[in-house]
């Protein structure tokens, strides 16, 4: 059975802090790993990682994948209150049609 | 630029009632999905479709039925609602599988009393 474990489950930081969110996975026939940000409503796509060791960046957010150790991290530098959200990690399952999601990390950024 | 649209956004049902949730996408995506999201459980796949006229079961299909009569629409039905089906339901679509980006609707908050 495919498994995605995220840690921590929740995190409270002050504006300006740097945070690292973790995602470990067990999946048959790995294809990719995806990060989503969920504020009040729909999850919105952040990154898709397929290759080990290659960092993806978008502004203050970056992510990297380690296929040997089966994990990914999402870094957010100089956090802002607008970064407060649940961050979800997901991998496609063996049949590749469905995404198996982790339970998410709830990030709260306080002024 | 609608993307994925779900209706309704909120609904309260009595136990035993039936309802249909509608998902429409305007991106010409082949693949569509219904997820439910519960506190502490993450997103779990209910049913999915790999093309018009096809449907398949996901992780938690019991108590739900789906239909994909048109490529742009994916319907989720509850024949006899139960309190355990109280949840937030998300529809998503993608142009391919293998973990390509899925686009999500805004969600339907369903309460069964």
In this predicted structure, what is the pLDDT of residue A76?
Answer: 98
How far, in Å, CA of A50 to CA of A97, rounded?
A: 16
Residues of chain A with pLDDT under 70: 94-97
In this predicted structure, what is the pLDDT of residue B44?
Answer: 92
Q: Bridge partners of B39?
A: none
Looking at beta carbons, which residues of chain A come within 8 Å of B100? 32, 48
What is the tens place of the pLDDT at every residue in B14-49? 999 999 999 999 999 999 999 999 988 889 999 999
B89 touches chain A (CB under 8 A): no
Q: Which residue has the tokens 């779900």?
A: B6
In this predicted structure, what is the pLDDT of residue B73?
Answer: 97
B54 touches chain A (CB under 8 A): no
**B57 contacts B83 by C-beta, under 8 angstroms:** no
In this predicted structure, what is the pLDDT of residue A33?
Answer: 92
A33 touches chain B (CB under 8 A): yes
What is the tens place of the pLDDT at every residue in B80-97? 999 999 999 999 999 876
In this predicted structure, what is the pLDDT of residue B97?
Answer: 67
How far, in Å, CA of B95 to CA of B56, rounded?
A: 17
Q: Which residue has the tokens 């060791």?
A: A53
Structure tokens at B22: 């509608």
What is the tens place of the pLDDT at every residue in B53-79? 999 999 899 999 999 999 999 999 999
């Amino acid at each position: 059975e495919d498994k995605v474990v995220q840690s921590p489950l929740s995190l409270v930081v002050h504006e300006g802090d740097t945070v690292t969110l973790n995602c470990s996975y067990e999946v048959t026939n790995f294809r990719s790993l995806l990060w989503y940000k969920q504020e009040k409503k729909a999850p919105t796509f952040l990154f898709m990682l397929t290759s080990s060791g290659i960092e993806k960046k978008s502004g203050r957010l970056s992510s990297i994948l380690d296929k040997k150790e089966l994990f990914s991290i999402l870094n957010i530098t100089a956090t802002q209150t607008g970064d407060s959200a649940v961050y979800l990690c997901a991998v496609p399952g063996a049949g590749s049609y469905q995404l198996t999601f982790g339970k998410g990390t709830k990030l709260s950024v306080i002024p | 630029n609608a993307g994925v649209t779900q209706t309704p956004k909120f609904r309260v049902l009595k136990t035993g009632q039936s309802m249909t949730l509608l998902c429409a996408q305007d991106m010409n995506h082949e693949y569509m999905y219904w997820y439910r999201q519960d506190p502490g459980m993450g997103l779990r796949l209910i049913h999915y479709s790999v093309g018009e006229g096809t449907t398949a079961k996901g992780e938690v299909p019991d108590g739900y039925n789906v239909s994909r009569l048109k490529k742009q629409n994916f319907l989720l039905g509850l024949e006899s609602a139960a309190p355990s089906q109280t949840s937030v339901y998300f529809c998503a679509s993608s142009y391919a599988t293998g973990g390509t980006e899925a686009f999500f609707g805004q969600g339907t908050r369903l309460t069964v009393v």
